[in-house]
């Protein structure tokens, strides 16, 4: 149970660092901040979960452990998503019109006189 907050911190650090790198920000600081955020958040969730289950047996606590993990992941995902909204996204490359691929093929056959502009 003590390894899950650290795993969540690692995943969140990678996520924050990746988002900061895409936005051309300092990815090391964002990664460290994301790791600290996830570690603190998941530790609080697990601590509150353990405090709420003190009178329960160990088997009941193990069943609740999965619930605490899901709550921590959802909370980190939602709050982390809100935190990374401030990072500007890189502009998407727009399609630039290029030269035409070739001479257009006429739908109806054109005679040589019509092609020269004569009637």
Instruction: Give me Rg for the CA atoms of the chain.
Output: 29
When the pLDDT of each residue in the chain is averaged and rounded to a whole number, the result is: 82
Taking the alpha carbons of 43, 40, 8, 71 in that order, is the dihedral positive or negative? positive
- What per-residue confidence (pLDDT) applies to 112? 67
User: What distance in Å separates the CA atoms of residue 85 and residue 116, rounded to the nearest whole number?
Assistant: 60
Better-predicted residue by pLDDT, 35 or 113: 35
Q: Where are the domains of the chain?
A: 4-84
- What per-residue confidence (pLDDT) applies to 6? 93
Distances (CA, A) of 44 to 16, 24, 91: 20, 31, 37
What confidence tens digit (pLDDT) does each residue in 22-68 have? 888 899 999 999 999 999 999 999 888 888 877 677 777 777 888 88
- What per-residue confidence (pLDDT) applies to 97? 66
Residue 102 pLDDT exceeds 60: yes
Do 20 and 87 form a contact (C-beta atoms < 8 A)?
yes
- What per-residue confidence (pLDDT) applies to 25? 87
Tell me if the pTM is above 0.85: no
The pLDDT of 76-81, averaged and rounded, is 90
């Amino acid at each position: 149970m003590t390894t899950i907050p650290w795993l969540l911190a690692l995943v969140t650090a990678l996520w924050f660092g990746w988002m900061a790198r895409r936005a051309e920000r300092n990815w090391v600081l964002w990664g460290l901040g994301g790791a600290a955020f996830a570690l603190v958040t998941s530790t609080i969730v697990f601590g509150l979960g353990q405090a709420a289950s003190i009178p329960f047996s160990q088997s009941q606590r193990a069943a609740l452990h999965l619930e605490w993990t899901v709550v921590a992941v959802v909370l980190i995902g939602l709050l982390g998503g809100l935190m990374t909204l401030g990072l500007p996204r890189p502009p998407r490359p727009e399609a630039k019109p290029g030269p035409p691929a070739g001479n257009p093929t006429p739908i109806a056959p054109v005679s040589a006189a019509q092609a020269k502009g004569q009637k």
